[in-house]
Amino acid sequence: MVSIAIDVGIANTLHAIDEIMVRHESEEVTVWDSLGDQLQAVLLTVGDLDRMYFALLAEIEDIFEQPELSPGRINEVIGQARQYCADEQLTLRLVEWRGAIQATAFNETLKHRRYRDLASTLRSIDDPLERYIARLWRLQTENAPEVPAENKLWDLRTVLVLLTLISDRVTGPGAMDKALPSPRKACEEAIRNYNRALSLALAQLIGHARQDLAMDRL
């Protein structure tokens, strides 16, 4: 399996965002242009963050499917998972766009009856986006948890704690300490526990909002 490079993934996402937002430097940009760009950027960022999250868990699973453990791969994926859980750049961008989208949703420009559906959709985006951001903050700001005793508590951060314990006990190729939970099962539960409803809701709502914007420009 190809090693995961979270720093590169985040850098690529930031570059794509900059390309979306480049026309904000133009004096001719309209409120509709800004809104459309913000919605597109949110969708891109959420999609990339999700892909990186699942790619990390898939990499961890693959490491522990091998006949012998590789301390090098374990330490490498620990570094990448820490990068995901510590880098706030994309989270801060989402916070910024959430505020901008909500400000537009209550803007006087949308008070006209013809914009009622668009305003409603924009206001509906706030809840799933707020919850998505809150989940990122929990990964990035909470104190390191203990290895969970319940399956429903596994996520990338708790898997990272487990990997750190394993790394401390593995000095060369060989078997894992049997007293620790299975990383493969922990990753499986972390994948199952990931609330995909937030990303799906955002994709659907943003799709509707962008469609309404396109129709308004006809």
Residues 129-170 pLDDT 10s: 999 999 999 988 767 678 888 898 999 999 999 999 998 877
Domain total of the chain: 1
pLDDT tens-digit map of 92-121: 999 999 999 999 999 888 888 888 999 999
175 inside domain: no
Amino acid 141: pLDDT: 77
Residue 188 lies in a domain: no
Average pLDDT, the chain: 89
Helix (H) or strand (E) holding 74: helix 71-86
* pLDDT for residue 61 is more than 60: yes
Residue 177 lies in a domain: no
- Listing DSSP states for 161-194 in one string gives HHHHHHHHH--SSSPPPTTSPPHHHHHHHHHHHS
Q: Do 141 and 87 contact (CB within 8 A), yes or no?
A: no
Residue 159 counted as domain residue: no
- Which domain, by its residues, includes 19? 6-142+199-216
The packing angle between helices 89-105 and 6-21, to 10°, is 30
pLDDT for the residue numbered 171: 57
Determine, yes or no, domain membership for 153. no
Q: Using pLDDT thresholds of 50, 70 and 90, give the confidence band for residue 30.
A: confident
Q: pTM of the full predicted structure?
A: 0.90
Q: Which long-range contacts (CB under 8 A, 24 or more apart) does 145-151 make?
A: 147/180, 147/181, 151/189, 151/192, 151/193
What is d(CA 43, CA 15) in angstroms, rounded to the nearest whole number?
Answer: 15
Answer yes or no: is 172 within a domain: no
Q: What is the pLDDT of residue 218?
A: 43
**Residue 171 located in a structural domain:** no
Is position 77 within any domain? yes
CA distance 194 to 53: 10
Find, among 25, 20, 24, 23, the residue nearest to 42 by Cα: 20
pLDDT at 110: 84
Tell whether the torsion through CA atoms of 52, 56, 62 and 65 is positive or negative: negative
Distance from C-alpha of 190 to C-alpha of 187, rounded to nearest angstrom: 5
